[in-house]
Amino acid sequence: MSDERQAPDAGPQPTEIRFYGTTWLNHDGGYALRRAATAIGALAAAAAGCLVLRFAFQGVTDAKAGSLVNVLLVVAFAICSALAFRHTWTGFVRRPDAPLDAAAEKSMRSIRVIGFVGILLAYFCRTLIEAPGEKLRRAEYEQERQRYERRRTARTGNPANKPKKRKTR
């Protein structure tokens, strides 16, 4: 059994990644198959999303709203998808700053709903490289392991077993 899979009290445990569990740590347990399946699934979902957007656009053109509305609709979908892609991609690389990004996450919610195709494409592209968020979680896990090892090796023994000092008068 490897060092990373010890008893729960034997140090920090890796966090799970959706669809991968903890297989990202050692690339075992069907990791490659999971990456292939999630890449295909994300791409298929993005294609289905594009089809849904096509139907929505067709409904607007059938309503004869005008060419300006059609252009604005396409531009809105493209910009929202690009913003959602970038936001999702950076989320795989770094953790957001907690107080500042809470408001940003709330304001990005509607953009991410409209640009859901960008999110799916970011997930697909990241899955081709690694499990989404693997690099970030691996760095955090290694830092936790190093801190744990430093704390553990810094101890010299049980303080109760120390020889007692004699009081001198």
Q: What is the pLDDT of residue 106?
A: 83
d(CA 125, CA 81): 14
Written as tens digits, the pLDDT of the chain (169 aa) is 444 454 455 788 898 998 898 899 899 989 999 999 999 999 999 999 999 999 999 999 999 888 999 999 999 999 999 999 999 999 888 876 666 677 778 888 889 999 999 999 999 999 999 999 899 999 999 999 999 888 877 666 666 666 677 776 6
Q: Domain limits of the chain? A: 23-144
Q: What is the pLDDT of residue 10?
A: 74
Q: Please report, as a single letter, which amino acid is at residue 69.
A: V
Per-residue b or e along 146-164, where b marks 16 or more CB atoms closer than 10 Å to that residue's CB: eeeeeeeeeeeeeeeeeee
Q: What is the pLDDT of residue 83?
A: 94
Structure tokens at 162: 């120390």
